[in-house]
Each structure stands twice: as C-alpha cells, then as structure tokens.
Amino acid sequence: MISTAPILETSFPDLTRHGRGKVRDIYEVGDALLIVATDRISAFDYVLASGIPDKGKVLTQLSAFWFERMGDLVPHHVIATDVAKFPASLQPHAETLRGRSMLCRRTRPVPIECVARGYLSGSGWKEYQQTGMVCGVRLPAGLRESDRLPEPIFTPATKAESGHDVNISEDEAARLIGRDLTSRLKALTLDIFRRGCEHAESKGIIIADTKFEFGLVGAGNPATDVVLIDEVLTPDSSRFWPRDQYTPGGAVPSFDKQYVRDYLEEIRWNKQPPVPSLPETVVQRTRDKYIEAFRRLSGRELACGIRWSASSPKCSTRAFITTTRGGNSRRCSSRARSNARRAIWATRRTSSACTATPSLARSPNTASDGRRNPPGPQPTLALRPSDCLTGRPGLHRISSRPG
C-alpha cells in the first residue's frame, strides 16, 4: 500500500513558472530557480497517467547526496534543499515542496546531454551492432549486449525537445558548443561517473550508463564557469543494475523501471497516446525499488513527509507523525509521542538530507491550523513488517490510503 497520493503536477499561481519538463516543474524565484521534482514517471518517451508516490523525493534527495559528494570535482547548482531556508515567498507552499525541491542557481544549460557509458546497452548497443562504434568511439570487436567496456566512454547526445535524444560524436559536440567546452565536459563527465560507479558498486549497484547536464554562468569560460545542474545519478538519468543479477549477453533487468516496462509490454501498449495508467501493484513495486536504490546508495532514509506510527502494546492510540512542521496531534499519548520523536531523530541522524524540524504533525483528522476537522472518512492504515525501520517494537513506518 502507498503512503500518499502522488503529486503529478504543481500549480503555484503566485509564482512565475519557468518551465515544465517530463518530471520537473520549474519556477523563477528572483535570480534563482525553484526546481520541484513531481512523481511523474515516463516510459518509452511518454509521461504515464499514473505517478509513483515519493519518486520526486527520491530523485531530489539522491541528487542532493551526489551533488555534495561531487562538490570537489565541479561546482553544482544547489543553493538550498531545506525548505525552511527558502525565501518567504515560498513558505506558503512548504508542505508541497518539502523533500522534493531545490532552490538552484540559474544557469544557461549547455545544449548537449553528457552521457557516460561503462557497459554496452540501449542505444549504444544498437549503434555498436551496426558500426562497431558508439558516438564515434571505436570499441573492441565481439562485445555482447551488457558487456563491460574496457573503460568508460563519453558519448554526447543532442537534447531533443520531444522524442529520443540523438547520439552525436565528440567532433559534432565540439561544432555545437566549442572544442574547449567539449573537452572540459568530457573530463568532468568521466570523473563524476567513475566516482559514482565506485561508490555504487560498493553498494551492490552497477551504473551501466548515465547522463549529466551542465550549465554556464558568468562569461561562460569553460575552465571556470561550468556548473553541474539538473539531477545526478538517479534511476531516471541512469541505468542501475543489481550487481547480483548481472549477466552479460542479453538485457539486464533495470533496478527500477523494469516492472513498468514489463507491464506496458504485457498489455501490448502501442507506445502512442493515450498513455496507460498502472495497476497499484506495479506502482507499489516501482516505488519500493526507487526507495531501495536511494537507501542503498545514500545510506540515508528518505526524509520528510514520511508518516510514522508510534504505538506500543500499552498505548492504545497511535500517533501520526510526519517530519513536517507545525500542527499537533491531540490524540496520541505522551508515550507514543516520545517514541515517535525518537524515531524522527533517529531518521535525522542518518539523513543529512532531512530538512525539517521534527515535530508532531497533524493526525489525519486534524486540520493544518491544528483544529479538528469535521468527522469524515479516515485513511486506511496498514502496517507491514518490512516497513519496520527501527527494529524496535512499536515503531513502524506506516502506509495509508484514503478510505
């Protein structure tokens, strides 16, 4: 069961919208950009009708983890991920933004996708079969699908407004953006990729390939004015393979979207509109995979908006807790409250991405100003043993859905 309804789009009429991508809604905030990752999911180049609850949080918090980790290689665009540090104009939207948004430095995006490949898959594998090369890079003969390459390669692509990006050679990239900038982006792409792969492999995940985006600031000097933007080494921008299921010589199931792709193949969707929606089991499994990738790679728990139930055999009332600000649950016992508080602090200790102050949040029938809502349908609550994060009796992650 799923904890919250997915956020498929945001609409903040008091803010100026800068753009909307397949996944992100972008707003202008003074000189900066507010980038909000929604729960939209795309497959075969279409945004599907169903979202994956919390996917936007996984993408944001995983990117934040990597941005930090790569900070000594290249400057990044993150100004703040802690909603409390966002400007006052954004505070009315704190609830929606928490955990899934970044205030970013506005840059001029370089119009190529910087792809790094360590394994032969996807469009790289297709091209290799026809030409023995990928994006102008000649590879050894006799490689099989999903084989590891002798060393990671840089294979840029143009950014298509719609449909597939088109692979280009390094020379073509140089014609588009200049030789110096291409060389700099190639070096950065491979450095970031290598570091990411090393870390991921130690966590049992192979990053077969990925794409980075860079932006320019100031005068756009390739040596000093390049900034890493967008998202970094997420399941959306990369092919993650579970290391224990890696077998070259065919397609390796991807870590995250495999259930979605399998389902779409199974219903024989013709990959044309109208786009299908996904059954709840596929949504749930996909969500679990995104969260697992985040946990494994970052060693953190997904922060903010997670609902906790604190209960004990002696405590008949559950406390409904989120790591959000404000609101008080008047229905829970002090025992439940202190259990829950401990759980939240435990989460915060393992999660530097957590941006919120722990506090007791509303119970499902308590309004945002703390007043009780009129009686109405209660969310359905379900405890799953696998959701127990602390191992301590009485503290469980819970999921709920509207009753």
Ligand X SMILES: Nc1ncnc2c1ncn2[C@@H]1O[C@H](COP(=O)(O)OP(=O)(O)O)[C@@H](O)[C@H]1O
Return residues touching ligand X (CB under 6 A): 21-24, 26, 33, 35, 77, 104-107, 109, 213, 215, 229-230
Q: Smaller CB distance to ligand X: residue 105 or 295? A: 105
- 39 and 258 Cβ atoms separated by less than 8 Å: no
Q: How far is the CB of 226 from ligand X (least distance, A)?
A: 12
Q: Smaller CB distance to ligand X: residue 111 or 279? A: 111
* Residue 399: exposure state from Cβ atoms within 10 A (0-12, 13-18, ≥19): buried
* Cα–Cα separations (whole angstroms), residue 270 to 51, 260, 274: 20, 14, 9
The owner of tokens 């290249």 is 74
Q: Smaller CB distance to ligand X: residue 34 or 302? A: 34
Torsion angle of C-alpha atoms 383, 388, 391, 393, degrees rounded to 10: -20
Q: How far is the CB of 237 from ligand X (least distance, A)?
A: 8
Beta partners for residue 213, in sequence order: 229
Q: Smaller CB distance to ligand X: residue 220 or 248? A: 220
CA distance 108 to 193: 22
Q: Smaller CB distance to ligand X: residue 7 or 252? A: 7
Q: Smaller CB distance to ligand X: residue 157 or 336? A: 157
The residue nearest ligand X at its CB is 21
Q: How far is the CB of 11 from ligand X (least distance, A)?
A: 16
- Dihedral class, residue 193 (left if φ above 0, else alpha if ψ from -120 to 50, else beta): alpha
3-state helix, strand, coil in the chain (%, to 5): 30, 25, 45
Q: How far is the CB of 153 from ligand X (least distance, A)?
A: 22
Q: How far is the CB of 129 from ligand X (least distance, A)?
A: 27
Q: Smaller CB distance to ligand X: residue 104 or 208? A: 104
Apex 399 CA angle, 395 and 403, nearest 5: 130
Residue among 8, 46, 56, 70 nearest 232 (CA): 70
Beta partners for residue 80, in sequence order: 103
Q: How far is the CB of 251 from ligand X (least distance, A)?
A: 23
Q: How far is the CB of 150 from ligand X (least distance, A)?
A: 30
